[in-house]
Structure 1
Amino acid sequence: MRSAVAGGTGRIGALVVERLRARGHDVVSLSRGQRVDLVTGEGLDGALAGVDVVIDVSNPPVADVATAERVFAAVSENLLATGAKAGVGHHVALSIAGASRVLGNPHYFGKRVQERVVAAGPVPYTIVPATQFHDFPAMIADWSTVDGVSHVPPLLLQPIAPEDIADVLVELAEGEPQGRYADVAGPVTEDAVDMARRTRAARRDTRPIRASWQGSALGVEFAGEVLLPGDGARIAPTTFDDWLAAL
């Protein structure tokens, strides 16, 4: 199988590429380093020649809703149109569990547009909604540090290991298109503030963390259980404790 990974040099993309190659697949990485521009479509014609499946794990940075919707739509439209021309038979897109429930964040607007474009596109598809990764709360803390104090909002997560979602993406890419797949999540529900504090302790980072929505990188649209997986979720094996132990 010849596979193309959009965002193949990124965090999840590199894991997907590694796993595909380990399973004997021919892999093309779609990134600027390979002279492919996903937003404009430059370089895609040559890169997708002979490709059987596209796995889109790209994660373009976006600052506002309009940009997010434009960029995510452009990337998916380019991959699908060029893929259809090249005879791609399966388009796998990584999305976010609960994307439809978070209404105030630009990235989630972009993900909703991506899902709509993929579902309406010319290539049979599988959309894979995943929960946040284990280091997400620590990232929030780093984004929300003012005068040495980090702010992490009290919210619930069911985090997943990047390696686990990479395994699922490769498994699904090797199979038949499934439309919208079940949410994929880690095995245990966790509190984001506790996760951030425990991550910093494991890294011997002594900066204090305050449980607060004020000054946090996230808004109250993330409150409560909106980020938890839906019914019938596929549960991946690696717990947050497993991940901490490996730091």
Structure 2
Amino acid sequence: MKVVVIGGTGLIGSKVVAKLGEHGHEAVAAAPNTGVNTLTGEGLPEVLKGASVVIDVSNSPSFEDKAVMEFFRTATTNLLNAEADAGVTHHVALSVVGTERLQESGYMRAKQAQEELIKASGIPYSIVHATQFFEFMKSIADGATDGDTVRLAPVDIQPIHSDDVAAAVSRTAVGEPLNGLLEVAGPDAFQLDELIRGVLAAKDDPRTVVADAHARYFGAELQLNSLLPGPGALLGETRFTDWLARQG
């Protein structure tokens, strides 16, 4: 089976390409640095020729509200049109747990727009909603930093390792289209401010973490369960504490 992975040279995409290859599939990494650009359409007809499945794990280079919306609308429209022309029979996209609940965030509004385009395309699809990756904890801290203070809402979070995300995306891609959502999360839940406090301590980062119920998370105010998956989510195997201990 030929599977084209849009964003196939990034953190998740490179792991997906490797996992599919290990199982005998022809996995093609598609990204601007391989001559495929979903924003311009460059290289799409060529790379999609003979593909059964397309996995989109690409991300916007800018998180500014207007830019991120433009990226996901344009790139997704170009990709879906090219897939229709090529006869692709399964479109898989990686999105974020809680997208529909976090619409104060420009990034989440853009991801919601992406999902709506996929659902309306007529191409059989599967959307994988993942919680935040272990590897993004520093970015969460940085986004909430003012001077030496990190302000975070004391809400629950259930982060997941990138390997477990890639495994879930890969399994979904070679299965029958869900025409719906699959949620994936890590095995353990934490309180966000406490989790980041522990991450910074492990890195000898001197910033102070302050719990603030009204602290914004990439532009959105959070409720206790805003970042959590619902019942029936697929849980990854890697525990955050084990992963953090290996980071050195």
Give matches, 1:42-191, under 5 Å. Answer: 42-191=42-191
2:27 matched residue in structure 1: 27
Distance between the aligned counterparts of 1:138 and 1:161, measured in 2?
14
Aligned-residue CA RMSD (Å)? 2.0
Indicate the SS of the match to 1:178: coil
C-alpha contact 1:213 1:220 (8 A) present in aligned 2: no
Stretch deviating more after TM superposition (106-115 or 27-36) = 27-36
Distance between the aligned counterparts of 1:66 and 1:142, measured in 2?
21
Identity of matched residues, % = 39
Stretch deviating more after TM superposition (233-242 or 209-218) = 209-218
Distance between the aligned counterparts of 1:131 and 1:78, measured in 2?
27
Stretch deviating more after TM superposition (214-223 or 141-150) = 214-223
Distance between the aligned counterparts of 1:18 and 1:95, measured in 2?
20
**Letter of the aligned partner of 2:170 in structure 1?**
V
Compute the displacement of 1:62 (Å).
Answer: 3.9
**Letter of the aligned partner of 1:93 in structure 2?**
A
Indicate how the Cα distance of structure 1 residues 133 and 166 shifts in structure 2: closer, same or farther if over 3 A, else same.
Answer: same
Give the paired residue count: 247
Distance between the aligned counterparts of 1:18 and 1:128, measured in 2?
18
Compute the displacement of 1:205 (Å).
Answer: 2.5
Indicate the SS of the match to 2:151: strand
C-alpha contact 1:137 1:152 (8 A) present in aligned 2: no
**Letter of the aligned partner of 2:23 in structure 1?**
R
Deviations 1:179-221 (A, max 9, x none): 1133111122111111112112222333332333677663452
C-alpha contact 1:48 1:83 (8 A) present in aligned 2: yes
Indicate how the Cα distance of structure 1 residues 98 and 146 shifts in structure 2: closer, same or farther if over 3 A, else same.
Answer: closer
Indicate how the Cα distance of structure 1 residues 215 and 158 shifts in structure 2: closer, same or farther if over 3 A, else same.
Answer: closer
1:9 matched residue in structure 2: 9
Compute the displacement of 1:135 (Å).
Answer: 3.8
C-alpha contact 2:102 2:220 (8 A) present in aligned 1: no
Distance between the aligned counterparts of 1:36 and 1:184, measured in 2?
28
Give matches, 1:164-243, under 5 Å. Answer: 164-212=164-212, 218-243=218-243
**Letter of the aligned partner of 1:28 in structure 2?**
V
C-alpha contact 1:68 1:109 (8 A) present in aligned 2: no
**Letter of the aligned partner of 2:142 in structure 1?**
D
Compute the displacement of 1:64 (Å).
Answer: 4.2
Distance between the aligned counterparts of 1:127 and 1:232, measured in 2?
15
Distance between the aligned counterparts of 2:171 and 2:215, measured in 1?
40
**Letter of the aligned partner of 1:97 in structure 2?**
V
**Letter of the aligned partner of 1:192 in structure 2?**
L
Distance between the aligned counterparts of 1:87 and 1:177, measured in 2?
15
**Letter of the aligned partner of 1:143 in structure 2?**
G
C-alpha contact 1:140 1:152 (8 A) present in aligned 2: no
TM-score, normalised on structure 1? Answer: 0.91
Indicate the SS of the match to 1:154: coil
Indicate the SS of the match to 1:197: helix
Distance between the aligned counterparts of 1:119 and 1:228, measured in 2?
23
C-alpha contact 1:53 1:91 (8 A) present in aligned 2: yes
Compute the displacement of 1:11 (Å).
Answer: 1.2
